[in-house]
């Protein structure tokens, strides 16, 4: 098309469009609010293990996408515990469960919170984010690996570290980075703590738990930027909108389903039976019994190995996802890739699904720091993951269920709440695992929260 057919402003380069400028922000007053625990200042995973932080902002908007949880972690460690006692990956290791409640309504529940945090960070975060995680949350110093070893607590000493981290809650970090609306009813953030043996890892398990004298979380608080709008006309329009139809916002949450596998070479079935309005994806941690019961200190709570798995197939309402399932092939030499004659390494399709499940809203794939050695880690190596970061076992099975990746679209997953059809995972073991173990399936789904004109909050997911 000839440039003469276009208005002059359309044919100018961006560097010459001097009439274009940013709009002035609405008059407002902003501050960083601090919300403290209401039920004490010192907590452990063994006693007084639930932190309750009430949040109330009145007619202020809460910019929860910039919030952070802050606390002092103190370890009192005896002298004979071996080479080290460290955080399991980072300071999020203290969390067993996080709930958000308001006026008797549970708005979100994140079970196995530390394990889910590890998967999210290691399957979808940049090296730059990993460096920030190391500085602020006590993660492993190397951003080039997939470390299970976080901050070290000095043996035969009392050491304290102050950490800041963002809570991985859909309610607090929803789609489009919206603030929580003004006039919202008070809500409470409830954090249940892990025991010291699940929050920490050590070189040896023998006698170690008794030698960790105390592991304490103190002075927990949450900081959230808030702002009030000083323009009365803008606030009048806002109040009118709320009075007419309320306010809604959405975010991703997850649900947890725990099953078991037998020590047998067979196709084994886990009943999932999720009921969600928009199920975006499923992934399953394959946890050896030794990793789950050895006091927790030898391995990360997120340790998982795909050793012996030969086929993965999720079935929802009788339909196979992905169609026909995924064939998996590995070997005792797979971690190094040095296969011998006749062996096959087939994990690429499985990793494709894992990458898509951990993708952020609006993206097709997640790109993280789980390398081939981590994804392929054998069961024996996964049990020693805390000693060698390169072998930290993070191999999971997964299935992406999103119909679209467009961030402008909502409810893009499968509606599994419309009927009572069964949902299952069929996992085939080509060789018998040495022990029984756990199949821990995480169902990632969309939730929508609604603030009524009187401030009350409800949720559907």
Residues 126 and 272 in one domain: no
Q: Binning pLDDT at 50, 70 and 90, where does residue 383 land?
A: very low
What pLDDT does 203 receive?
61
Domain annotation covers residue 238: yes
Task: Please determine, for residue 348, whether its predicted confidence score (pLDDT) is greater than 50.
Answer: yes
Q: In the listed set 214, 231, 249, which residue is the last one of a domain according to the structure? A: 249
Domain annotation covers residue 12: no
What pLDDT does 386 receive?
47
Q: Binning pLDDT at 50, 70 and 90, where does residue 75 land?
A: confident
Domain annotation covers residue 150: yes
Question: Using an 8 Å Cβ cutoff, are 251 and 410 in contact?
Answer: no
Domain annotation covers residue 267: yes
What pLDDT does 297 receive?
62
Question: Using an 8 Å Cβ cutoff, are 199 and 52 in contact?
Answer: no
Residues 204 and 277 in one domain: no
Residues 440 and 347 in one domain: yes
Mean pLDDT of 417-436: 90
Residues 259 and 227 in one domain: no
CATH code for position 242: 2.70.9.10
Please report, rounded to a whole number, the percentage of residues in the chain having pLDDT higher than 90. Answer: 57
> 195, 241, 234, 188: which is closest to 45 by C-alpha?
195
> 307, 372, 300, 359: which is closest to 150 by C-alpha?
300
pLDDT per residue over 248-300, tens digit each? Answer: 999 999 999 999 999 999 999 999 989 999 999 999 999 887 765 544 566 78
What's the total number of domains in the chain? 2
Domain annotation covers residue 444: yes
What pLDDT does 80 receive?
56
What pLDDT does 390 receive?
46
The mean pLDDT value of the chain amounts to 86
pTM score, whole prediction: 0.91
Query: Which own/partner pairs from 57-60 qualify as long-range (CB within 8 Å, at least 24 positions apart)?
Result: 57/33, 57/180, 57/182, 57/184, 57/226, 58/182, 58/183, 59/182, 59/183, 59/228, 59/235, 60/33, 60/182, 60/226, 60/227, 60/228
How many angstroms separate the CA atoms of 408 and 275, rounded?
Answer: 24
Residues 365 and 440 in one domain: yes
Bridge partners for 439 per DSSP: 259, 286
Please report, rounded to a whole number, the percentage of residues in the chain having pLDDT higher than 70. Answer: 85
What pLDDT does 41 receive?
95
Mean pLDDT of 320-324: 93
Mean pLDDT of 158-182: 94
Task: Please determine, for residue 20, whether its predicted confidence score (pLDDT) is greater than 60.
Answer: yes
Residues 214 and 353 in one domain: no
User: Phi/psi of residue 392, each to 5°?
Assistant: -60, 115
DSSP calls for 228-257: EE--HHHHHHHHHHHHHH-EEEEEEEEEEE
Least confident of 106-120, 180-194, 373-387, 446-460: 373-387
DSSP calls for 326-375: EE-B--TTTTTT-PPTT---B-HHHHHHHHHHTPPTT-S----S--HHHH
Residues 324 and 446 in one domain: yes
> 301, 380, 299, 359: which is closest to 118 by C-alpha?
301
Q: In the listed set 228, 249, 270, which residue is the last one of a domain according to the structure? A: 249
Domain annotation covers residue 182: yes
How many angstroms separate the CA atoms of 316 and 252, rounded?
Answer: 20
What pLDDT does 1 receive?
44
Bridge partners for 25 per DSSP: none
What pLDDT does 385 receive?
43
CATH code for position 310: 2.70.9
Task: Please determine, for residue 384, whether its predicted confidence score (pLDDT) is greater than 50.
Answer: no
Residues 98 and 206 in one domain: yes
Q: In the listed set 249, 267, 288, which residue is the last one of a domain according to the structure? A: 249
Q: pLDDT: is 43 or 377 the higher one?
A: 43
What pLDDT does 241 receive?
96
Residue 228 structure tokens: 């009030």
Residues 244 and 260 in one domain: no
In a 3-state reduction of DSSP, which class is residue 172? coil
Domain annotation covers residue 3: no
Residues 45 and 173 in one domain: yes
Q: Which helix (H) or strand (E) holds 196?
A: helix 196-199
> 379, 393, 376: which is closest to 336 by C-alpha?
376
Domain annotation covers residue 459: no
Residues 109 and 122 in one domain: yes
Residues 147 and 267 in one domain: no
Task: Please determine, for residue 428, whether its predicted confidence score (pLDDT) is greater than 90.
Answer: yes
Bridge partners for 261 per DSSP: 437
Question: Structural domain of residue 65, as residue ranges?
Answer: 28-249
């Amino acid at each position: 098309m000839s440039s003469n057919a276009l208005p002059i402003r359309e044919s100018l380069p961006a560097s010459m469009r001097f009439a274009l400028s940013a709009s002035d922000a609405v008059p407002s007053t902003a501050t960083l609010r601090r919300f403290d625990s209401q039920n004490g200042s010192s907590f452990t995973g063994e006693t007084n293990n639930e932190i309750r932080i009430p949040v109330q902002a009145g007619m202020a908007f809460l910019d929860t996408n910039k919030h952070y949880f802050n606390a002092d972690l103190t370890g009192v460690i005896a002298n004979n515990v071996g080479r080290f006692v460290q955080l399991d990956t980072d300071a999020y290791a203290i969390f067993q469960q996080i709930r958000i409640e308001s006026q008797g309504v549970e708005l979100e529940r994140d079970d196995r919170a530390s394990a889910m945090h590890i998967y999210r960070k290691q399957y979808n975060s940049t090296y730059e984010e990993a460096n920030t995680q190391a500085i602020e949350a006590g993660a492993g110093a190397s951003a080039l690996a997939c470390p299970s070893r976080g901050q070290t607590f000095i043996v035969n000493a009392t050491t304290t570290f102050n950490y800041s981290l963002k809570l991985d809650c859909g309610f607090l970090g929803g789609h489009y980075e919206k603030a929580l609306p003004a006039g919202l009813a008070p809500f409470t953030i409830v954090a249940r703590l892990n025991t010291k043996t699940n929050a920490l890892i050590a070189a040896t398990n023998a006698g170690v738990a008794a030698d960790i004298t105390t592991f304490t979380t103190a002075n927990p608080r949450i900081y959230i930027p808030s702002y009030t709008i000083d323009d009365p006309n803008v606030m009048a329009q806002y109040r009118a909108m709320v009075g007419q139809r309320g306010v809604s916002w959405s975010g991703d949450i997850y649900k947890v389903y725990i099953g078991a596998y037998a020590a047998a070479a067979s196709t084994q079935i886990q009943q999932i039976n999720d009921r969600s309005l928009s199920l975006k994806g499923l992934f399953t941690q394959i946890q050896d019994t030794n990793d789950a019961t050895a006091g927790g200190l030898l391995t990360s709570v997120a340790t998982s190995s795909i050793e012996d798995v030969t086929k993965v197939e999720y079935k929802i309402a009788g339909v196979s996802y992905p169609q026909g399932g995924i064939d998996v092939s590995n070997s005792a030499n797979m971690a190094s890739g040095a296969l011998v004659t006749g062996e096959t390494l087939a994990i690429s399709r499985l990793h494709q699904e894992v990458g898509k499940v951990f993708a952020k809203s609006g993206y097709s794939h997640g790109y993280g720091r789980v390398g081939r050695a981590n994804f392929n880690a054998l069961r024996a190596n996964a049990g020693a993951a805390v000693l060698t970061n390169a072998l930290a076992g993070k191999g999971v099975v997964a299935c992406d269920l999103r119909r679209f990746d467009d961030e402008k679209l909502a409810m893009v997953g499968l509606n599994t709440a419309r009927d009572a059809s069964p949902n299952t995972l069929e996992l085939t073991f080509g060789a018998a695992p040495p022990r029984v173990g756990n199949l821990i399936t995480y169902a990632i789904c969309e939730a929508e929260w609604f603030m009524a004109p009187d401030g009350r909050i409800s949720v559907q997911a």
